Amino acid sequence: MTSTHSSRDSNVVIEMTDVNKWYGTFHVLKDINLKVNRGERIVICGPSGSGKSTLIRCINSLEQHQKGSIIVGGTRLTSNLKGIEEVRREVGMVFQDFNLFPHMSVIENLTLAPIFVRELPQKEAEELALHFLKRVRIEEQAYKYPGQLSGGQQQRVAIARALCMNPNILLFDEPTSALDPEMIKEVLDVMIELAEENITMICVTHEMGFARTVANRIIFMDEGEIVEENEPEAFFNNPQYDRTRFFLSQIL
Amino acid sequence: MVTSNTQSDALIFRPLPAQTPPLSLTGPLGWLRENLFNGWFNSLLSIGCLVLLTIIIPPLLSWTIFDATWAGNADSCRESSGACWTFIGHKFQVFLVGTYPSSEVWRPALAGGLLVLLSLGTVCRVFSKFILISMWLVFPFIMYLLVNGGLGLPIVDQSRWGGLMLSVGLALVGILISVPMGVILALGRRSKIVTIKSLCIGIIEPIRGVPLITILFMASVMMPLFLPENMQINNMLRVQVGIILFSSAYMAEVVRGGLQAIPQGQIDAAKAVGLNYWQMNVFVILPQALRHVLPSLVGRCIALFKDTSLVIIVGLLDFLGMAKASTQDSNWLGFDAEAYIFCAAVYWVICFSMSQYGRSIEKRGPSEH
Q: Is B369 on the interface with A (CB under 8 A)?
A: yes
Distance of alpha carbon A15 from alpha carbon A74, whole angstroms? 9
The verdict on residue B39 lying in a domain is yes
Task: Give CA angle at B177 (B173, B183), nearest 5°.
Answer: 150
**CA-based nearest residue to A221, from A91, A53, A93, A60:** A53
The verdict on residue B116 lying in a domain is no
- Rounded to a whole number, what is the distance in angstroms from the first to the last CA of chain A? 42
What's the gap in Å between the CA of B266 and the closest CA on chain A? 6
Same domain, yes or no: B256 and B312: yes
Q: What is the CATH number of the domain that holds B339?
A: 1.10.3720.10
User: Contact, B82 vs B66, CB < 8 A?
Assistant: yes
DSSP string, B200-230: HHHHHHHHHTS-HHHHHHIIIIIHHHHS-TT
Same domain, yes or no: B293 and B179: yes
Q: What is the ipTM of this complex?
A: 0.89
pLDDT for A127 equals 93
DSSP string, chain A: --EE---SSTTEEEEEEEEEEEETTEEEEEEEEEEEETT-EEEEE-STTSSHHHHHHHHTTSS--SEEEEEETTEE--S--TTHHHHHTTEEEE-TT----TTS-HHHHHHHHHHHTS---HHHHHHHHHHHHHHTT-GGGTTS-GGGS-HHHHHHHHHHHHHTT--SEEEEESTTTTS-HHHHHHHHHHHHHHHTTT-EEEEE---HHHHHHH-SEEEEEETTEEEEEE-HHHHHHS-SSHHHHHHHHHH-
What's the gap in Å between the CA of B152 and the closest CA on chain A? 45
Burial of A181 (0-12, 13-18, 19+ CB in 10 A): exposed
What's the predicted TM-score (pTM) here? Answer: 0.81
The verdict on residue B291 lying in a domain is yes
**A147 chain-B contacts, CB cut-off 8 A:** 366
Q: How many domains does chain B have?
A: 2
Same domain, yes or no: B207 and B326: yes
Q: Compare CB distances from B274 to A102, A145, A165 and report the shortest one's residue.
A: A165
Q: Compare CB distances from B272 to A93, A112, A145 and report the shortest one's residue.
A: A93
Same domain, yes or no: B24 and B91: no
Mean pLDDT, residues B22-47 taken together: 80
Interface of A with B (CB under 8 A): 57, 60, 62, 85, 88-89, 91-93, 95, 97, 99-105, 112-113, 116-117, 145, 147, 158, 161-162, 165
Same domain, yes or no: B59 and B163: no
Same domain, yes or no: B91 and B49: no
DSSP string, B232-270: ---HHHHHHHHHHHHHHHHHHHHHHHHHHTS-HHHHHHH
**A175 chain-B contacts, CB cut-off 8 A:** none
The verdict on residue B126 lying in a domain is no
Whether A89 and B369 lie within 8 Å, measured CB to CB: no
pLDDT for B7 equals 57
The verdict on residue B337 lying in a domain is yes
Per-10-residue mean pLDDT of chain A, 252 residues long, equals 51 92 92 92 92 93 91 85 83 93 93 92 93 91 92 93 92 91 89 88 92 92 92 91 91 78
Residues 328-367 of chain B with CB under 8 A from chain A are 365-367
Whether B274 and A100 lie within 8 Å, measured CB to CB: no
**B276 chain-A contacts, CB cut-off 8 A:** 85
**A97 chain-B contacts, CB cut-off 8 A:** 265
What's the gap in Å between the CA of A181 and the closest CA on chain B? 20
pLDDT for A227 equals 93
The verdict on residue B355 lying in a domain is yes
Distance of alpha carbon B107 from alpha carbon A3, whole angstroms? 62
The verdict on residue B360 lying in a domain is yes
Q: Is B264 on the interface with A (CB under 8 A)?
A: no
pLDDT digits (tens, 9 = 90+) for B183-217: 999 999 998 889 999 999 999 999 999 998 888 88
Q: Is B3 helix (H, G, I), strand (E, B) or coil?
A: strand
Q: Domain range for residue B220?
A: 85-100+156-364
Same domain, yes or no: B36 and B89: no
pLDDT for B2 equals 47
Same domain, yes or no: B322 and B282: yes
Same domain, yes or no: B92 and B31: no
Same domain, yes or no: B236 and B207: yes
The verdict on residue B74 lying in a domain is no
pLDDT digits (tens, 9 = 90+) for B253-300: 999 999 999 999 999 999 999 998 899 999 999 999 998 898 889 899
**CA-based nearest residue to B240, from B310, B185, B296, B303:** B310
Would you tell me how many other CB atoms lie within 10 Å of the CB of residue A174?
Answer: 21
pLDDT for B368 equals 41
